[in-house]
Structure 1
Amino acid sequence: MDKTHGQHHLILTTNGAAGACAAAAVLMRYPDAHIQFTSPRHLPKALESLPEKGTPMAVHLCGIGISTPSDELTTGFRLLAKNITITWYSGKEHPDVAQYIAGHKTQIRHKGSAHSLTTQVILDALKVNGSARSLLLMELAEEAQSSKTARSELHRYCHDLVQAANRRFFFFGDDTLNEKAIRFLAGLENKSNALDTAVEHYRRSPDALYPLGSSPAMKTLRAHIGRLGPVPEPVLIVGPTGSGKEVMAKALHITSGRTGAFVAVNCAVLGGNPTLVEDRLFGHVKGAFTGADTEARGAFEEAHQGTLFLDEIGELPAEVQAQLLRVLEEKEIRPLGTMKTRVVDVRIVTATHRDLGRMVAEGKFRQDLFYRVNVLLVRVPPLCERLEDMKSIAAHVVSELEKSKYTLKLNKKDWDAIQRYDWPGNVRQFLNVLKRAAYLKYPVAEIIDEESRHSRLDASIEASSLHTIFFPESIEDVLPVKEMYRTYVQHVLGLFEGNIMRTARALKIASNTLRKYLL
């Protein structure tokens, strides 16, 4: 903490651009001050955590309004140790602060204005205005207050850096980037690869890439991912189909700080052809096989200095499992058609819905590879274990649909149907049902009813062999052609992660035709 005349300085501020600008303004005067993030609701708890003894401390409250009962807040102030002095800065965006202080006797000092933003109040009070840096902070604060478009690339960079830091803190409880972002705004931290990477991830990664939900299970999972992200060891993600394993893999990549790309490979889609799998993973040189007219990079090279996500790793052929183990141990690949190796720097994340331990016992998966990919473990809970997350997931889907001019409204009947259904397809199925209801303009409850009937049929079909489906041995085995079409289309839609347009292109049918098959 900054020491001025024997005092430590602590900044209490909120997440968001306004709080960041206000805290940066204080840092311009006290560059070694410690930063602690709180909110109006949690301010009494933050005050309670301040030390009771020790070196005198000056606490700067900035960017914080009032949302807790005034008596609770007043009690928090009155219990402060005598070695603590508090200055509360507030501008026109927080008129409640001035009203509170006027009506309560506390030991805090107030610096406020009914006409200026909090950042300007701080710059004036601490006499650090008049510089290019203070002008930048005021412009950023004004843009945050009015939701104006960033007026320059520097402004956009600062805005996106703060948003990236806020998002990391909200989802993963990691405030290290938040502090770096504020110090950058104050001119105390230079641009770096780490900051640039955070901004780049933010710009190309919508919120949908993050694990949504506020249930205890998801909060714990996000915190776990936040801790594992920077660790350069392989991660194995386990969970049922549709639970969001790829979302977790992307979150691990974003929190890793790695500058390379995130590359996903679905091993199940590649099938059991070793040559095809090797080509996708390791690439090939020109002339490696008939039709190889040009050199092609594999997934490992595409993910150099980034993250390679191998989904459904249990489906890899035995020959490729051996090669993958060698790559993980030696950190180099050999493309098809050459004996020369190439060094790669890749963080491996794998996922499966199968029991790899049992596959090892049955001789279907290499034990040494299992231990190599299972250094760190992430378990994704099924949707049935976190039903309280469904409203936040639905709210996000509704918001995304509105951007595409589709509307979706959920009434009590819809929510009753949502709560009754067991969601065997987990989050992916829930998302697909909501989107289908919006696209087809049907009530969600009706879509769920159809889904339930088809699930029973699908369970019956799954119990049958493919041979019986396509070559029925008796009249009783014959299925309507429409049901066969629907089963196949649903399966392909799952391969494309529920993307209707890509599925339609692959099947060479119109998207409207595809939607008809799904009902």
Structure 2
Amino acid sequence: MPTKRSILIVDDEKNQRDILDMILSAEGYRTATAPSAEAALRMARAERFDVVLTDLKMGGQSGLDLLRALTQADSSQLVILMTAHGSIESVKDALRLGAVDYLEKPLDRERLLTVLAQALSRLDALDADLIGNSEPMQKLKKIILKVAASDETVLVRGESGTGKELVARALHRHSPRAAAVFHVVNCAAINENLLESELFGHEKGAFTGAVAEKKGLFEVADRGTLFLDEIGELNVALQAKLLRALQEGEVQRVGSTRVIRVDVRVVAATNRPLEDMVAAKTFREDLYYRLNVIPIHLPPLRDRREDIPLLVERFLARQSRGATHYTITPEALQVLQAYDWPGNVRQLESALKRAALLCEGDTIGVEDLPVEIRQATGVPASAPAPPFQFRLPPEGISFEEVERSLIVQAMEKTDWNITRAAKLLGLTFRTLQYRLEKFGLRRPSDTPSDDAPAAEAPPDRTG
């Protein structure tokens, strides 16, 4: 929303600053003004703005100088340039350096508001893809918007489970290539003998089993984006072929001498220390520098704990089905925020899936969290349940009556959810459904008609 977005206006003409301040304030933006690039840089270092709207030509340092300084400072602000004197080359330089758009003077009010709204709407779209409002995540999102328009190679670094593929998809979605294909290759999941064919294709008869020619993903992703996950797993021979594809835009299929031109933006990712691998001669130094043109680092979840409530809300919404809407107690949320999450966001999502499946009702408490999380955060583990015991009366008892009683208890404990009750009883869904029909059991509030089936379990709400 505009009221939540801040804009720093930079222009050496006071009249121009005042006009822009008046227009944008009236639209609900929070504004600040600076008379020079030097003053703007000081303000941007002291406060985080969503957008820096700067003139190109100013006394002293220019708008391009400010853009360079913000980029070197690893700033998260989006930059929009205003120019009355700039050439096409100046605009190209600005976009290459990371500006998200430009405006020509004299400014048109509607054009100004449209460009701002478009830049901020892309930021809003990233909020839906990359969950979190912490400073590291806000910085990450703005870096993505800055580099998305470029065709340069991006190297995404981060621990396992931090969401490197989500970043790659966001880069593609906000790039000029968004209408073209996006392909994912997990370099660690494919046999190295097959990976060359997967990436570069092969000709018929190139090797045993090559019964037909096949395009590689570099050809398939032409004009699109190719995401190479676990790039550190490539063998040295494949590293050489990849380097040629990146440097020359050329590939050769296995079994062919024909050179094929390709136009592909590559985003690579790894959680391995490539610098150490270069030193150990297991990763080519020239390929490392070619991949590391634009490095992006994903923070681990333990470094952005303030994002955990938002992540929990999103993941529980995904688990909710029908009338079941899962919530979490404040105590359980506190435990989640205290845990270090070695598996990062992926581990958090997995823990919540498990808790939602096993909890009684639709509220997740501390007792529903995985034991390793409770133990690591100092929550005492529950005492082990005593082994199940049943005293057989001297006169005997009907086994079917015992079975029926256990089924009723399990159904009531799970609010008549067949999937969860079956897990409690160690039965399959179909077996429990058969026994419900056998004993004529249904939710007490149900009132079947004479021709209704004896037992009609409520729909499975756990998915």
Q: Same fold (TM over 0.5)?
A: yes
Q: Structure 1 residues 178, 342: CA separation in 2 closer, same or farther (over 3 Å shift)?
A: same
Specify the alignment match of 1:390 in structure 2.
Answer: 308
Q: 1:264 aligns with which of 172, 175, 184?
A: 184
After the TM superposition, which of the residue ranges 319-328 and 52-61 deviates more from structure 2?
Answer: 52-61
Q: Structure 1 residues 333, 452: CA separation in 2 closer, same or farther (over 3 Å shift)?
A: same
Q: What is the CA–CA distance in structure 2 between the aligned matches of 1:368 and 1:376, rounded to whole Å? A: 15
Contact map agreement 1:333 1:343 (CA 8 A) in 2 = yes
Specify the alignment match of 1:254 in structure 2.
Answer: 173
Q: 1:215 aligns with which of 131, 134, 139?
A: 134
Contact map agreement 2:355 2:370 (CA 8 A) in 1 = no
SS at match of 1:256: coil
Give structure 1 stretches of 5+ with no counterpart.
1-14, 16-37, 77-170, 180-185, 189-194, 457-509, 513-519
Q: Structure 1 residues 405, 242: CA separation in 2 closer, same or farther (over 3 Å shift)?
A: farther
Specify the alignment match of 1:156 in structure 2.
Answer: none
1:270 Cα shift?
Answer: 1.4
Cα deviation 1:405-428 (Å, max 9, x = unaligned): 653211112112202211000111
Contact map agreement 2:366 2:374 (CA 8 A) in 1 = no
Q: Structure 1 residues 42, 215: CA separation in 2 closer, same or farther (over 3 Å shift)?
A: closer
Over the aligned positions, Cα root-mean-square deviation in angstroms equals 4.5
Q: Structure 1 residues 445, 332: CA separation in 2 closer, same or farther (over 3 Å shift)?
A: farther
Q: Structure 1 residues 54, 340: CA separation in 2 closer, same or farther (over 3 Å shift)?
A: closer
Specify the alignment match of 1:467 in structure 2.
Answer: none
1:46 Cα shift?
Answer: 8.4
Specify the alignment match of 1:420 in structure 2.
Answer: 338
Cα deviation 1:298-336 (Å, max 9, x = unaligned): 221222111111111111111111111121122111122
1:398 Cα shift?
Answer: 3.0
- Displacement over 4 Å in runs of 4+: 45-52, 54-66, 171-179, 206-209, 403-406, 453-456
Specify the alignment match of 1:53 in structure 2.
Answer: 15
Equivalence map 1:9-20=2 (5 Å): none
1:241 Cα shift?
Answer: 0.7
1:436 Cα shift?
Answer: 2.5
Equivalence map 1:69-148=2 (5 Å): none
Q: What is the CA–CA distance in structure 1 between the aligned matches of 2:147 and 2:159, rounded to whole Å? A: 21
Q: What is the CA–CA distance in structure 2 between the aligned matches of 1:336 and 1:290, rounded to whole Å? A: 12
Cα deviation 1:75-131 (Å, max 9, x = unaligned): x9xxxxxxxxxxxxxxxxxxxxxxxxxxxxxxxxxxxxxxxxxxxxxxxxxxxxxxx
Contact map agreement 1:264 1:308 (CA 8 A) in 2 = yes
Q: 1:286 aligns with which of 204, 209, 229?
A: 204
Q: Which amino acid aligns with 2:263?
A: D
Q: Structure 1 residues 455, 418: CA separation in 2 closer, same or farther (over 3 Å shift)?
A: closer
Specify the alignment match of 2:150 in structure 1.
Answer: 231
Q: Structure 1 residues 304, 444: CA separation in 2 closer, same or farther (over 3 Å shift)?
A: farther
Q: Structure 1 residues 64, 301: CA separation in 2 closer, same or farther (over 3 Å shift)?
A: same
Could you tell me the percent identity over the aligned residues? 37
Q: 1:240 aligns with which of 154, 159, 169?
A: 159
Contact map agreement 1:174 1:226 (CA 8 A) in 2 = no
Q: What is the CA–CA distance in structure 1 between the aligned matches of 2:17 and 2:77, rounded to whole Å? A: 32
Q: Structure 1 residues 63, 391: CA separation in 2 closer, same or farther (over 3 Å shift)?
A: farther
Q: 1:376 aligns with which of 282, 291, 294?
A: 294
Specify the alignment match of 1:367 in structure 2.
Answer: 285
Contact map agreement 1:332 1:341 (CA 8 A) in 2 = yes
Equivalence map 1:424-503=2 (5 Å): 424-441=342-359, 443=364, 445-452=366-373
After the TM superposition, which of the residue ranges 288-297 and 386-395 deviates more from structure 2?
Answer: 288-297
1:285 Cα shift?
Answer: 2.7
Contact map agreement 1:265 1:309 (CA 8 A) in 2 = yes
SS at match of 1:253: helix
SS at match of 1:225: helix
Specify the alignment match of 2:318 in structure 1.
Answer: 400
1:223 Cα shift?
Answer: 1.2
Q: Which amino acid aligns with 1:210?
A: D
Q: Which amino acid aligns with 1:269?
A: A
Contact map agreement 2:149 2:176 (CA 8 A) in 1 = yes
Q: Which amino acid aligns with 1:377?
A: P
Q: 1:311 aligns with which of 218, 229, 246?
A: 229
Specify the alignment match of 2:46 in structure 1.
Answer: none
Specify the alignment match of 1:500 in structure 2.
Answer: none
Q: Which amino acid aligns with 1:288?
A: A
1:340 Cα shift?
Answer: 1.5
Contact map agreement 1:242 1:427 (CA 8 A) in 2 = yes
Q: Which amino acid aligns with 1:380?
A: L
Higher Cα radius of gyration: 2
Contact map agreement 2:158 2:271 (CA 8 A) in 1 = yes
Contact map agreement 1:209 1:251 (CA 8 A) in 2 = no
SS at match of 1:378: strand
Q: What is the CA–CA distance in structure 2 between the aligned matches of 1:61 and 1:369, rounded to whole Å? A: 46
Specify the alignment match of 2:86 in structure 1.
Answer: none
Matched, 1:410 2:324: no
Q: Structure 1 residues 207, 511: CA separation in 2 closer, same or farther (over 3 Å shift)?
A: farther
Matched, 1:321 2:239: yes
Q: What is the CA–CA distance in structure 2 between the aligned matches of 1:454 and 1:65, rounded to whole Å? A: 48
SS at match of 2:214: coil
Q: 1:351 aligns with which of 246, 256, 269?
A: 269
Q: Structure 1 residues 277, 289: CA separation in 2 closer, same or farther (over 3 Å shift)?
A: same
Q: What is the CA–CA distance in structure 1 between the aligned matches of 2:251 and 2:209, rounded to whole Å? A: 22
SS at match of 2:370: helix
1:283 Cα shift?
Answer: 1.8
* Alignment coverage as a number of residue pairs: 306
Q: What is the CA–CA distance in structure 2 between the aligned matches of 1:47 and 1:290, rounded to whole Å? A: 64
Q: Structure 1 residues 187, 295: CA separation in 2 closer, same or farther (over 3 Å shift)?
A: farther
* TM-score normalized with structure 2 length: 0.56
